Structure 1
């Protein structure tokens, strides 16, 4: 391919940032530097249950989903729940599985969980810490062994738990607002 006079102009224009008007009703980008930093400020982890915490990355109150890192520092059953929407999970550390399935989520693995799936999450003996990045649309509906609802967790309960926690640890109740879009 030969270099034409237009080739230089096209290369130069490719390096120019978009300069047109912003699209209406767009929200600001959210960038969380060090999101996977193992040695981050412990106050960023919001307690959920004994030895279970989450670190919010995005809490979308307008679209009904959340992205967080779940950290579990104990073995055993974590919860039994049904998904109201799809869930994407990327295991960052440790391993876990659902009693109802034969697959294991291990470090570096990805899992898709369809709406309506009911399962019981277990972290096995010998796993000191499990960390999984979850993208959850809709709610977790906690259920008993027969599928009867016992509780609900969604983006709104995540926001409230984080707001309360950040106020208690000195970051301020409004610290959670940085994650809300």
Structure 2
């Protein structure tokens, strides 16, 4: 079989090393973020995230799938306290799942890598709608918080002319 006639030529690899990129501290309360890939058109967001001990995120409903790889530490969903996610754990979450992320106060926190398709629909403790968190919302919040910290996060922006956000 011959190579396709239409090939997206790459002059260089789009690579990010989170050991060298700035982290957005407290992008959300208790959540530090390295944005890696934000596709606002297709609703895909890829992040490395560090959760502080005691962090609980709002209960949320996923419109798409999530892949979450825990690099270190420990966390669990409040709905599944007997199923902790620890360093080395890979978790697949189907679209339509609903849960509440929690990193215990007495833990070291957690560091993880996530690929999210779609949005999180967030709810308060009484089950009332709070907001929709998608790739565009993530990008807006990260850039606003980063600006207050005097940093410019660099992440991959996809598309025909894929490149870095800072290009």
Give TM-score, length-normalised by structure 1: 0.73
Give unmatched runs, 5+ long, in structure 2.
159-167
Helix, strand or coil at the partner of 1:151 = strand
2:7 aligned to which of 20, 23, 40: 23
Q: More displaced, 103-112 or 52-61?
A: 52-61
- Correspondent of 1:54 among 24, 27, 33: 33
Asked which structure has the greater CA Rg, the reply is 1
2:44 equivalent in structure 1: 65
**CA RMSD after TM alignment:** 2.8
2:71 and 2:4 mapped to 1: Cα distance? 39
The question of whether the paired residues in 2 share the 8 Å contact of 1:46 and 1:161 is answered with no
Is the contact between residue 80 and residue 118 of structure 1 (CA under 8 Å) also seen in structure 2?
yes
User: Structure 1 residue 67: deviation in Å?
Assistant: 0.4
Matches within 5 A, 1:79-158: 79-101=58-80, 102-145=82-125, 147-158=127-138
Residues 22/171 of structure 1: CA separation in 2 closer, same or farther (3 Å cut): farther
CA distance in 2, matches of 1:81, 1:57: 22
User: Where is the helix percentage greater, Structure 1 or Structure 2?
Assistant: 1
CA separation of 1:93 and 1:24: change in aligned 2, threshold 3 A: closer
Give, in whole Å, the separation in 1 of the partners of 2:118 and 2:53.
26
The number of aligned residues is: 155
RCO higher in structure (CA 8 A, sep ≥6): 2
Unaligned runs of 5+ residues in structure 1 are 1-18
Q: Is the 8 A contact 2:63 2:118 kept in 1?
A: yes
